[in-house]
Amino acid sequence: MNRTAKTYVGVVIAAGVAASLLASLYWESIELWRCLLYVLVSALAGPIKLRLPGMEGTYSPSGLLGLMGVVYCAFPEAVLGALAGALTGSLLFTKKRPAAAQVAFNLANVALTIAACRGVLHGLESIGVASVTPVALTAIAATHFVVNTMVVSGILALVTDKPFSDVASSWYVDCFPYFLGGAALLVLVPASGETVPVQAWPFAMAILYLVHFFVTVRSHGSEATPVKGVQNWLSPAAWLFVVSVFAGGFALILRSIVQFETQDSLRFTSYLFASALLARLKVKLPGLMSTISLHYVVKLVALMTLSLPEALLVAATGALAQSNFERIDKLRVERIGFNVGVGVLSTFIAFHGARWLNESALAALGVATILMYSASTLLVGIVVCFTEGRRLDWAVRQLWSWSLPYYMAGAAAAGLIVQASGQAGWMASMAMLPLLVLMFVSYRLHLRA
């Protein structure tokens, strides 16, 4: 181990000791028997190592127990349980005896991770977000994964002399789906004396569907058909279809500008900016020339919380930002116009579907998701038939198989943002947007792998 690595290990251990001492200074236990039981279960789970499909290393359930400790136990209890699991996992049933520095590093890592998660939970509670909700659990799970990944990837990069990005990417591909699945199941665990929130079920199902997709891609690889060459011209029928979609979308944009009014200009501007920013995070779908980006999440949030003109302008902004302006020619201008038209028309349809069920936010979001996805998939599928010489049923199946898991997880994220907006205000709910980057990175890395 070189000097830089030793210094890094020392800094992490010192920080972990500080976090552990901080927890001990504020020791409290509401029910001592529950604390002892949690520590015992964590210690027993530590040595359990599971070898999961497509994963080179092993996975321990002690990480999920750490998440449960953050939510359902006091901070000192959560740290104590995590330390017990890390200690037994490091010392018991190992092929070779670990060095003292390695054990200390593992203990410090879990202490730092739990402390970071507890800090995030405390911040959410201070703005009115309850701890046992999908919003809080998602934020905690993301914090846990990011902190643990960054700390471990740092030492592995120093020891193996590999780029940090390569090491962290392997963690995303190998571990993130299973951690995400465990966090989704944790959402379905009710607090003492309470029932599982209704909105937790569709959220968990959407996340588990995305996890299944990740595991399938990782285990069996892509079965996408090679991309055909795209025509550099449009047939009369294709041109008429593209122009019709653009004309419909453009008419709705003009109507939105004429009828535009906003009750909160800062909120509307923030959604515009978020839509444009997330639109640049796009992934090319295998076997197709089409791409999918994250701005559809902001579209769903906008149509659930803003007026129709505002939602349509947010959709148009995202579609423009997603377009490629590097080389403007006649065909590319038509594609940009078509993309804007699809985004605006699908949002218009979804908005009215959501307002039809406005008495139930969960049902309204579900209807809006289905309508927006179906409309955009059908319109894009038709143009793929024209430009790539594909059959409509093939194009729709390809779009469905590669984009639906990603889209459903994004819809679940939109539901979290809407819920957080109702609990803590729209500004606080915007803090959920960085969590989408985790999903985007994992999705892109899995398709590349």
Which pLDDT tens digit goes with each residue over 222-279?
555 544 544 445 678 888 888 899 999 999 999 999 999 888 999 999 999 999 998 8
What Cα–Cα distance (Å) separates residue 133 from each residue in 26, 119, 427?
25, 16, 18
Instruction: For residue 230, tell me if it sits in a domain.
Output: no
Instruction: For residue 443, tell me if it sits in a domain.
Output: yes
Residue type, 316: A
C-beta of residue 371 within 8 angstroms of C-beta of residue 296 = no
Tell me the whole-structure pTM to 2 decimals: 0.75
Residues 195 and 107 in one domain: yes
Instruction: For residue 226, tell me if it sits in a domain.
Output: no
Residues 16 and 131 in one domain: yes
Higher pLDDT: 98 or 116? It is: 116
Instruction: For residue 227, tell me if it sits in a domain.
Output: no
pLDDT in tens, 309-319: 999 999 999 99
Q: Which DSSP letter does residue 294 get?
A: T
> Of 185, 220, 255, which marks where a domain is finished?
220
Half-sphere exposure (Cβ direction) of 82: Cα atoms closer than 13 Å: 33
Residue 102: CATH number of its domain: 1.10.1760
Token pair recorded at residue 407: 């889209």
pLDDT in tens, 335-386: 888 889 999 999 999 999 888 876 677 788 888 999 999 999 999 888 888 7
Residues 291 and 431 in one domain: yes
pLDDT in tens, 103-146: 999 999 999 999 999 998 888 888 777 766 677 777 888 888 88
> Of 193, 220, 247, which marks where a domain is finished?
220
The secondary structure of 203-271 as a DSSP string is HHHHHHHHHHHHHHHHHH---PPPPPPPPSS--HHHHHHHHHHHHHHHHHHHHHHHT---S-HHHHHHH
Residues 429 and 387 in one domain: yes
CA 300, CA 413: separation in Å to the nearest integer? 10
Residues 291 and 202 in one domain: no
Residues 213 and 301 in one domain: no
Instruction: For residue 229, tell me if it sits in a domain.
Output: no
Residue 291: CATH number of its domain: 1.10.1760.20
The domain in which residue 399 lies consists of 236-448
CA 412, CA 210: separation in Å to the nearest integer? 11
Instruction: For residue 294, tell me if it sits in a domain.
Output: yes
Instruction: For residue 335, tell me if it sits in a domain.
Output: yes
Burial of 91 from C-beta contacts in 10 A (0-12 / 13-18 / 19+): middle
Picking from 1-5, 101-105, 184-188, which range would have the lowest pLDDT averaged per residue? 184-188
C-beta of residue 448 within 8 angstroms of C-beta of residue 288 = no
Residues 13 and 80 in one domain: yes
> Of 195, 220, 245, which marks where a domain is finished?
220
pLDDT > 70: percent of the chain: 78
Token pair recorded at residue 182: 């465990």
CA 335, CA 315: separation in Å to the nearest integer? 16
> Structural domain tally of the chain?
2
